[in-house]
Amino acid sequence: MLRKLLIGAMLSTAMTGAYAVPSFADEVEVLHWWTSGGEAAALDVLKKKLESQGITWKDMPVAGGGGEAAMTALRARVTAGNPPTAVQALGFDITDWAKQGVVGDLTEVATKEGWDKVIPTALQAFSKYDGKWIAAPVNVHSTNWVWINKKALDAAGGKAPESWDELIAVLDKMKANGISPIGHGGQAWQDATIFDAVVLGIGTDFYKSSMIDLDPAALGGDKMVEAFDRMAKLRTYVDKDFSGRDWNLASAMVIEGKAGMQFMGDWAKGEFLKAGQKPGTDFVCVRFPGTQGAVTFNSDQFMMFKVGANQQKAQLTMASDIESPDFQSAFNVVKGSVPARTDVPDTAFDDCGKKGMKDLAEANTSGKLFGSMAHGHANPAAVKNAMYDVITRHFNGEMDSKAAAKALVDAVASAKM
């Protein structure tokens, strides 16, 4: 036992600002939806870090890339009076749970370690409630990426598209070359992820006024009709079997050369890396055409719930581990995202990671860093879900673009009531 304690102490010295090493009986039960290969590999970094300090990890995975199923499972647990120790959560979902008075308080460890100074204000808006820290941000994902199979791109001319017209030209060439131009999964959150990028590509002011400010004139105007027209065009490049496909299976299509590209957040990179692929050699990462210089983001955070005193020690240690710079680097290198702290060097990151960190910093400075509508960081869940419904109905051909723009106005108005 003494040897284990000594080993645990030695391992913990690699962690900056660790809170406290708990007893070996401590346990954290963690509800999450990181079940794909790349995601599971990233999560294993945190598991091992906690285990090195004698904390048992009780896994509660709930499959579903957008987290909807996980939130359903969480509601059942909280209603039963038995919440998990920590839950992966996004944006306004965190705020909604905080309003119910069931979340824990991480302020003690956050104050001791100076989180206020190193975690961006945009993230703190969701990590805090009533001045108290209630969640530990793990990463910053940017969602307006395009992941392209390098061989497929070379066969289509070799130049990554930078404008809408160039994108269509590349997609046409890929189609002519006999592959599915776009790898996509027909799930509402995936449709909305593409829609996010399409709207941002039409203009940053338009994105802010429509997706964040919910201006009816922007939601139902000519630019929104254009956005839906572009979505309809992209739909023609998706294979017939896309309905219900999980996002990581769409990534696999690109990895295997069965599809040319995927419009997805930077968690997709984890799938490419897990498959042994290298950026620049096997795949190319670029911003969605027209969105260069701007970033839509979401941030995975571990929201902490009120637990007993014995569990609380482990909970605070978990929060401290999450925010340690060494973990932030190790985790995000594997996950494909970038650190939630501004003081983590980019040394260990590949070219796509370095670009992600650089883009994020520039967008933050220029005022072009926006919470992603598709991923719950622009507006509360009711509004997001109302948009999802319209976007997916249109993408599936149930209405034309003008009708979709009008439906979007009506849906948002109803959701805000």
Give dist(CA 106, CA 101) in Å, integer.
14
Q: pLDDT tens digits, residue range 18-51?
A: 343 333 358 999 999 998 888 888 899 999 999 9
Asked if residues 79 and 48 have their Cβ atoms less than 8 Å apart, the reply is: no
Q: Report the alpha-carbon distance of residue 223 to residue 203 in Å, rounded.
A: 9
Residue range 116-152, pLDDT digits in tens: 999 988 899 999 999 999 999 999 999 999 999 999 9
**Strand pairing category for 259-263 and 180-182:** parallel
The number of residues in the chain equals 417
Judge whether residue 9 has pLDDT over 50: no
Q: Residue 260 burial (CB < 10 Å; 0-12/13-18/19+)?
A: buried
Q: Is 69 helix (H, G, I), strand (E, B) or coil?
A: helix
- Domains of the chain in start order, with CATH, are 20-141+298-353 (3.40.190.10), 143-296+357-416 (3.40.190.10)
Q: DSSP assignment, residue 63?
A: -
Which ranges constitute the DSSP H helices of 136-276?
Answer: 150-155, 164-176, 188-202, 204-207, 216-219, 222-235, 247-255, 268-274
Cα 271 from Cα 351, distance rounded (Å): 16
DSSP 213-242: S--HHHHSSHHHHHHHHHHHHHHTTB-TT-
Q: Mean of the per-residue pLDDT values for the chain?
A: 91
Q: What is the Cα–Cα distance from 17 to 20, expressed in whole angstroms?
A: 9
d(CA 180, CA 41): 28
382 dihedral zone (left: phi>0; alpha: psi -120 to 50; beta) = alpha
Residue type, 12: S
148-198 confidence digits (pLDDT tens): 999 999 999 999 999 999 999 999 999 999 999 999 999 999 999 999 999
- The structure's pTM equals 0.83
CA distance linking residue 19 with residue 407, whole number of Å: 50
CA proximity to 353, closest of 42, 13, 35: 42
Look at residue 65 and tell me whether its pLDDT is greater than 90. no
